[in-house]
């Protein structure tokens, strides 16, 4: 079938607009275009939104430059006065919301000075720059200055989904047929007999529409919950005198927001303080060059990103008064790109729809021709009655209903249903899927490039070993710290505490109970905790020394440096970072008295051995150093050499529980796990061996060595690389690119920093860390791992495989029903001149195989067996030979059963009397439905014999099966007037069930038939060869 689906191949990521348009044009047969394309990108709306976005950006850029030029010619006295409203004045504020918004948006520095600068502005919005706002003031601030929320499209109501379901062309035709049937039937057959056929069709249509709408509406609710989760962004603010974390939607004008590298600016604001703050404003202005924010350029714009540095800002404008608010309105227009599986199944639905339409037309032609020939033979060709009209109308209704059954509209929609279900479950399991296709692609992942810190390890760091004053020490609790304090001199202790408390981007703050809490990265938090245990006072140290310049830590330099002014006016530089980098900058060390003494080559060698020893114990190693600067004029240039080494630190970060098992699970599933870390090679190897990543024959390599390799060398070693240590973000990006292009792998990669964004974007599946990750990393990721746990990544892979397998199960089930229903109706029309299944019965069968079948099979939870088979390849055929074997086998059996009952049923069942034909027709319908129900159970596993494994874990499947059986009983026993059925005896009910159940042992026989010719253990579809013996069961 794959050769007929070439128009429906789509890349799983970064699809071009041409590719998206191409497959849409190839979809020719659609019963309900609005419903079929509801979950795919609206390219027209997306284009409009893009134009609107560009217009807003252009207007902003023009307004900014025009205003900037104009302000040079306007002095303070010639400025436009903004009148303060009574409401604002009565609330105690001294500046109008629109004036505040205009000033920041236009970067009006003169306007800021008119209002008294930062302090004057803070007074006018009633806030203390140290204490922040008071929580009790939040309602009045929201009333005057607005909420930090954006205009969103209203959610679709249930009635809208009912309307979508009703727009099915075939259902509309059937409604018209039903109305005509009632109109013709009433005069011909009288009341109420003349209404039965028409009302039966209308009731069936109502049921189909209702069940479809309920399924679609529940699915939309799952996506709505997912969207809410995606928009959850939290920021650090100072309120009521202490630091706290709040949602960006709870921000109000006057809030003091703390920003650090990778954060998204949550509202418009004014700079309070900070170091080396670089802001990327390209999302608003389109300008790629980052802007340096300082007292001279103090304005922040909502939606921009912090690319470097840290600082504090005063919130001045929120919500729809910001330019970002206006842009947010356009961000959701057009929807997400469709997934490759959705597109592929649109192709399958189109192909089968063409076949079904041809069968429907042929069936109609055969029925009409036979009817006309019969009338001609009886010499009644000129004698027409209303009953003849009803017969022809019934033939047309049957043909239309065949199209309803034959066009598998539910196939592409089943993918969305399965993905929605999987995404909802994954959200409960701490994985937020941002892009639908990622969940699907993760099932094909052959390689996971994972970070170490926080993903494989707990991220709960403590200082475990240190080297200071020439001696290595192990620390175990406060007792060890007390011993350390007694063994080092006061001068050494003073320098060490300065190095810890001055050279940090983290903070020690008070919570609402007055207790100390540390806010910052786990590594810095471990150092600060160590400093506090040594008796240090963070606030006192910070007040005693003034920080002159900061060079924040980043993953490229792998160090952080500061210059501080000492009380006597001298300058001192502090540096901490990767041990070998900082050690290479040192030419002296601190002795027991705190004096700087020269560092000999022998000592450097000894210290290097200490560092490697710490690293071999899986400890993260850092060096702390300082340098007294002789020339005060050099305060803007942080030294790069001549430092004095204070201490080597070994920080313990234990392996997460369950990581070793998760790695083993990946390896068993054919997924290679590669560790990419900025840590020392020895540390990386120790952790990799502990969790089973580094195996015999595997290669551990450092970033600089990897970068120096030629393309030929990389091609040779890349399959063996298991650990990449001391890596830069560029190394991660290069590794991902080479794995995909040279090795043909489907790569998932984790990332948390701003510099990881290119690798996350390039990978097949980008996985951002929810706890340690920056907003920039999350924005470029496909999935956010909310607990930063490697086990969660494995869970995503399992669900990705479950989605693929579930859709295969559903396709196998639906194609079997398609084949049987088409052949039965066509052959019966040719032989007997009537269809064995009426329009109402076919609509019920359509409901079983479409919406209810999708609910039952497409929402099955994953099982552990999924992770014991290799991943599905990139270019694999979706409908496998194994599936065709099952479809053909079951179809032949069902066709034989229905054919035998149709021809020999009365004789075999010894039926006689006037109602024998009605009983046989009902028995055929009942048997056909039970054949589908048992085949639905068979479809739970395409290859394995034991189809009952985990059946009670799938409560949706159980409910669907029970409801289907229950409603089948109601249709046959109580709705015969509308459904053209008669009540059956208990013997015939039992026989229907037994004939349907024969499909189960038949499935066992079919699964024992070999279908693959490949002698290898891996089939063409990427799965292991069909197992035998106990493994098969």
Which own/partner contact pairs does 637-643 have at CB distance under 8 Å and 24+ positions apart? 638/549, 638/551, 638/561, 638/562, 638/563, 638/573, 638/575, 639/573, 640/585, 641/585, 641/587, 642/585, 642/587, 642/588, 643/573, 643/575, 643/582, 643/585, 643/586, 643/587, 643/588
Distance CA 555, CA 877 (A): 42
Cβ within 8 Å of residue 887, ≥6 positions away: 812, 815, 816, 819
Distance CA 324, CA 158 (A): 31
Q: 626 φ, ψ to 5°?
A: -140, 165
Q: 132 near 241, Cβ under 8 Å?
A: yes
Maximal CA-CA distance, the chain: 125
Nearest 5°: CA angle at 429, between 427 and 434?
A: 30
Give the Å distances, CA to CA, from 71 to 76, 103, 299: 9, 11, 16
Cα 155 → chain centroid: 20
Q: b or e along 309-331 (b: 16 or more beta carbons within 10 Å of the residue's beta carbon)?
A: bbbbbbbbbbbbbbbbbbbbbbe
Phi/psi region, residue 530 (left: phi>0; alpha: psi -120 to 50; beta: rest), is: alpha
451 among known catalytic residues: yes
Which own/partner contact pairs does 216-220 have at CB distance under 8 Å and 24+ positions apart? 216/35, 216/38, 216/161, 216/164, 216/165, 216/413, 217/158, 217/161, 219/416, 219/417, 219/420, 220/155, 220/156, 220/161
Q: Of the candidates 14, 649, 50, 529, which has an alpha carbon nearest to the alpha carbon of residue 330?
A: 50
| DSSP string for 246-259 | EEGGG--TT-EEEE
Q: 467 φ, ψ to 5°?
A: -125, 120
Q: According to the 3-state scheme, what is the secondary structure of 880-942? A: CHHHHHHHHHHHHHHHHHHHHHHHHHHHHHCCCCCCHHHHHHHHHHHHHHHHHHHHHHHCCCC
Q: Of the candidates 196, 197, 208, which has an alpha carbon nearest to the alpha carbon of residue 171?
A: 208
Which one is catalytic: 39, 337, 451, 752? 451
What percent helix, strand, coil does the chain show, rounded to 5? 55, 15, 30
Q: Say which residue the tokens 């150092």 belong to.
A: 527
* Residue 211 β-bridge partners: none
Q: 454 φ, ψ to 5°?
A: 85, -20
Give the Å distances, CA to CA, from 58 to 63, 251, 328: 8, 28, 16
Distance CA 227, CA 29 (A): 32
Strands 507-510 and 516-519: antiparallel
Which own/partner contact pairs does 1017-1022 have at CB distance under 8 Å and 24+ positions apart? 1018/870, 1019/880, 1019/882, 1020/876, 1020/877, 1020/880, 1020/881, 1021/872, 1021/873, 1021/876, 1021/877, 1021/880, 1021/882, 1022/870, 1022/871, 1022/872, 1022/873, 1022/876
Q: 591 φ, ψ to 5°?
A: -90, -175
Q: 875 near 897, Cβ under 8 Å?
A: no
**Sign for the pseudo-dihedral over CA of 923, 925, 926, 931:** positive
Q: Which residues are catalytic?
A: 451
């Amino acid at each position: 079938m794959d050769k007929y689906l070439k128009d429906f191949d789509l890349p799983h990521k970064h699809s071009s607009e041409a590719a998206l348009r191409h497959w849409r044009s190839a979809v020719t047969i659609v019963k309900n275009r609005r419903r079929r394309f509801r979950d795919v990108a609206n390219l027209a709306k997306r284009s409009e939104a893009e134009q609107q976005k560009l217009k807003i950006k252009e207007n902003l850029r023009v307004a900014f430059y025009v205003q900037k030029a104009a302000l040079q010619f306007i002095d303070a006295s010639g400025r436009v006065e903004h009148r303060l409203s009574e409401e604002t004045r009565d609330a105690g504020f001294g500046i109008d919301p629109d004036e505040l918004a205009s000033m920041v948006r236009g970067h009006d520095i003169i306007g800021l000075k008119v209002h008294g600068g930062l302090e004057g502005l803070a007074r006018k919005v009633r806030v203390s720059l140290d204490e922040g706002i008071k929580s009790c003031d939040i309602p009045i601030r929201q009333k005057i200055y607005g909420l930090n929320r954006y205009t969103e499209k209203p959610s679709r109501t249930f009635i809208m989904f009912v309307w979508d379901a009703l727009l099915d062309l075939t259902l509309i035709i059937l409604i018209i047929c039903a109305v005509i049937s009632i109109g013709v039937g009433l005069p011909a057959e009288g009341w109420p007999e003349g209404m039965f056929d028409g009302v039966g069709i209308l009731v069936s249509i109502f049921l189909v529409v209702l069940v479809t709408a309920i399924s679609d509406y529940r699915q939309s609710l799952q996506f709505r919950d997912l969207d809410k989760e995606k928009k959850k962004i939290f920021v650090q603010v100072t309120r009521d005198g202490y630091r706290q974390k709040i949602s960006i939607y709870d921000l109000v004008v006057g809030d003091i927001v703390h920003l650090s590298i990778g954060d998204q600016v949550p509202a418009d604001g004014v700079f309070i303080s900070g170091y080396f703050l670089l802001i990327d404003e390209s999302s608003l202005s389109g300008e790629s060059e980052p802007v340096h924010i300082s007292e001279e350029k103090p304005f922040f714009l909502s939606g921009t990103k912090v690319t470097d540095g840290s600082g504090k800002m005063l919130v001045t404008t929120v919500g729809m008064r910001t330019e970002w608010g206006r842009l947010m309105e356009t961000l959701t227009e057009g929807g997400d790109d469709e997934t490759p599986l959705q597109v592929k199944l649109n192709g399958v639905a189109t192909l089968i729809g063409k076949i079904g339409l041809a069968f429907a037309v042929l069936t109609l032609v055969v029925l009409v021709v036979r009817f006309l020939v019969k009338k001609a033979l009886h010499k009644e060709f000129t004698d027409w009655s209303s009953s003849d009209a009803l017969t022809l109308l019934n033939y047309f209704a049957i043909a239309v209903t065949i199209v309803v059954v034959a066009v598998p509209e539910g196939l592409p929609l089943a993918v969305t249903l399965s993905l929605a279900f999987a995404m909802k479950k994954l959200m409960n399991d701490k994985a937020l899927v941002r892009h639908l296709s990622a969940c699907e692609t993760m099932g094909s992942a052959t390689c996971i490039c994972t970070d170490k810190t926080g993903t494989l390890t707990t991220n709960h760091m403590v200082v475990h070993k240190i080297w200071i004053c020439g001696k290595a020490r192990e620390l175990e609790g406060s007792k060890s710290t007390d011993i350390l304090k007694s063994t080092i001199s006061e001068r050494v202790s003073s320098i060490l505490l300065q190095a810890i408390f001055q050279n940090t981007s983290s903070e020690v703050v008070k919570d609402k109970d007055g207790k100390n809490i540390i806010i910052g990265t786990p590594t810095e938090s471990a150092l600060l905790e160590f400093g506090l245990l040594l008796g240090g006072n963070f606030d006192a140290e910070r007040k005693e020394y003034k920080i002159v310049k900061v060079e924040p830590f980043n993953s490229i330099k792998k160090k952080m440096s500061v210059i501080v002014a000492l009380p006597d006016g001298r300058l001192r530089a502090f540096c901490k970072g990767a041990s070998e980098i900082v050690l290479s900058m040192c030419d002296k060390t601190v002795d027991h008295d705190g004096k700087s003494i020269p560092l000999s080559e022998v000592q450097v060698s000894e210290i290097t051995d200490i560092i490697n020893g710490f690293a071999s114990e899986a400890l993260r190693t850092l060096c702390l150093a300082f340098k007294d600067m002789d020339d005060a004029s050099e305060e803007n240039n942080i030294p790069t050499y001549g430092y004095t080494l204070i201490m080597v630190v070994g920080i313990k970060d234990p392996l997460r529980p369950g990581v070793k098992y998760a790695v083993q699970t990946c390896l068993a599933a054919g997924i290679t796990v590669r560790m990419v870390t900025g840590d020392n090679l020895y540390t990386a190897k120790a952790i990799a061996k502990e969790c089973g990543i580094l195996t015999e024959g595997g290669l551990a390599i450092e970033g600089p060595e990897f970068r120096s390799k030629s393309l030929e060398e990389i091609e040779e070693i890349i399959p063996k690389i298991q650990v990449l240590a001391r890596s830069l973000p560029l190394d991660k990006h290069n590794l991902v690119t080479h794995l995909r292009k040279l090795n043909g792998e489907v790569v998932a990669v984790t990332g948390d920093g701003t510099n990881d964004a290119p690798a996350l974007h390039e990978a097949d599946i980008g996985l951002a860390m929810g706890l340690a990750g920056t907003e920039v990393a999350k924005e470029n990721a496909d999935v956010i791992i909310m607990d930063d746990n490697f086990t969660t990544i494995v869970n995503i892979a399992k669900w990705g495989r479950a989605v693929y397998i579930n859709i295969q199960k559903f396709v196998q089930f639906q194609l079997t029903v398609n084949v049987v229903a088409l052949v039965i109706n066509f052959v019966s029309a040719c032989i007997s001149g009537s269809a064995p299944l009426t329009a109402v019965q076919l609509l019920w069968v359509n409901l079983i195989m479409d919406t209810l079948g999708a609910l039952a099979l497409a929402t099955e939870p994953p099982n552990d067996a999924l992770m014991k088979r290799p991943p599905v390849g990139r270019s694999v055929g979706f409908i496998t030979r194994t599936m065709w074997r099952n479809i053909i086998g079951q179809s032949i059996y069902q066709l034989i059963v229905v054919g035998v009952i149709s021809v020999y049923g009365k004789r075999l069942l010894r039926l006689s009397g006037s109602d024998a034909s009605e009983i046989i027709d009902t028995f055929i319908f009942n048997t056909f439905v039970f054949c589908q129900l048992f085949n639905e159970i068979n479809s739970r596993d395409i290859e394995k014999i034991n189809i009952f494994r985990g059946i009670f874990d799938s409560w949706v499947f159980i409910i669907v099966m029970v409801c289907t059986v229950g409603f089948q009983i109601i249709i046959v026993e109580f709705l015969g007037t509308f459904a053209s059925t008669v009540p059956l005896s208990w013997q015939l009910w039992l026989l229907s069930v037994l004939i349907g159940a024969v499909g189960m042992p038949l499935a066992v026989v079919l699964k024992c038939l070999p279908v693959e010719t490949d002698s290898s253990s891996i089939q063409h579809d990427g799965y292991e060869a069909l197992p035998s013996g106990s493994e098969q069961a």
